[in-house]
Amino acid sequence: MAKITYREALNQAMCNEMERDDRVFLMGEEVADYNGAYKVSQGMLDKFGPKRVIDTPITELGFAGLGVGAAMAGLRPIIEFMTWNFAILAADQIVNAAAKMRYMTGGQYHCPMVFRGAGGAAARVSSQHSQSFENWYANIPGLKVVMPSNPADAKGLLTASIRDNDTVIFIENEINYGDISEVPEGDYIIPLGKADIKRVGTDITIVAHSRMTGYALAAAKELAKQGIEAEVVDPRTIRPLDEATILASVAKTNRALVVEEGWRFAGIGAEISARIMEKGFDDLDAPVTRVTGKDVPMPYAANLEKHALPSVAEIVEAARVTCNRA
């Protein structure tokens, strides 16, 4: 298995799918000539030509809607948002059109398409460019929300998302784009709706997605030194959620901590901890705890930004509290 970056893994998934299915095309800002604002689509214009790799004007609502119409007409669009912050302009098309199209038309039309791009905080880009919106989309029936935390998952999950017949919100992470690890070559698909246990442990379950999975793994390493074996579960698909894997882990460890980069209120952690309470109450030896982004818009100053985001130290501390070891 070759070691490649997260962005190369995404690129491979798109290229493979475009070779496999000529209905698939990529559209977005700077995806073609510029080779992608984050170089995810590097080389794709050369490979597939301007008919299938299409630069758009800066017009998120417009090209998101174009994608919806093209999907309704039977194509399989991949619509790239440079970041998910800009996708707010396109929310009408995602929420009011794509998510509801199958239901609202009594099954006559549907929108098999992927909206993808970078989510979460990057580095020092302050409040309007550092946000996590997975909980917004995860609230909407008709959408699937997918967030890979490493290169192999990025490839396998994007492949599954492109082949899926529903609208998939595929949220990448800018900080992860340069991460390198082993990725299976050729066709590689990870089914949607399947969580992955990234580290096996016995003392506490840490549920973390996207960039926070790496933080949770780092925290688990530190906790191990302190005699706490954490199990790290990465949901990978946020909606629909593989709660069975999470609940089975909690049944084993009897303790749970949910980590997310986004804000605490009505966040993914709120949903997951509610599910653990609803379905795994008798397995719990302690209340479920959460480590989340602080409840403020992201500040610019390096120290404030660092303080606003979850840290490995906070995860370690929260795990210790949950395990009565603080």
List residues binding another protein (CB under 8 A). 25, 51, 56-57, 59, 61-75, 92-93, 96-97, 102-110, 112, 141-142, 144, 164-166, 192-194, 237, 239-244, 275, 278
Token representation of residue 313 = 């130290």
Residue 193, CB-side half-sphere exposure with 13 Å CA sphere: 6
CB of 275 vs another protein, minimal distance in Å: 7
CB of 166 vs another protein, minimal distance in Å: 5
Nearer to another protein, 193 or 299 (CB): 193
The active-site residue, picked from 30, 110, 129, 229, is 129
Token representation of residue 73 = 């007409």
Nearer to another protein, 89 or 180 (CB): 89
* Contact in structure between 172 and 6 (CB atoms under 8 Å): yes
* Contact in structure between 16 and 189 (CB atoms under 8 Å): no
How would DSSP label each residue in 86-142? Answer: GGGGGHIIIIIIGGGHHHHTTTS----EEEEEEEB--SS--GGG-B--HHHHHTSTT
Q: Is 209 a catalytic residue?
A: no
CB of 260 vs another protein, minimal distance in Å: 17
Token representation of residue 138 = 């995860």
Dihedral angle, C-alpha 60, 61, 63, 66, nearest 10 °? 170
CB of 170 vs another protein, minimal distance in Å: 15
Q: How far apart are CA 141 and CA 263, in angstroms?
A: 21
Q: Is 129 a catalytic residue?
A: yes
The active-site residue, picked from 60, 172, 174, 271, is 60
CB of 107 vs another protein, minimal distance in Å: 4
CB of 100 vs another protein, minimal distance in Å: 9
The b/e string for 268-297 (b: 16+ C-beta within 10 A; e otherwise) is bbbbbbebbeeebeebbeeebbbbbbeeee
Nearer to another protein, 7 or 76 (CB): 76
**Cβ contacts of residue 43 below 8 Å, gap of 6+?**
11, 35
* Contact in structure between 169 and 240 (CB atoms under 8 Å): no
| CA distances in angstroms from 44 to 27, 133, 195, listed in the order given | 11, 28, 30
Nearer to another protein, 22 or 185 (CB): 22
Nearer to another protein, 103 or 265 (CB): 103
Nearer to another protein, 4 or 71 (CB): 71
Which residues are marked as active site? 60, 129
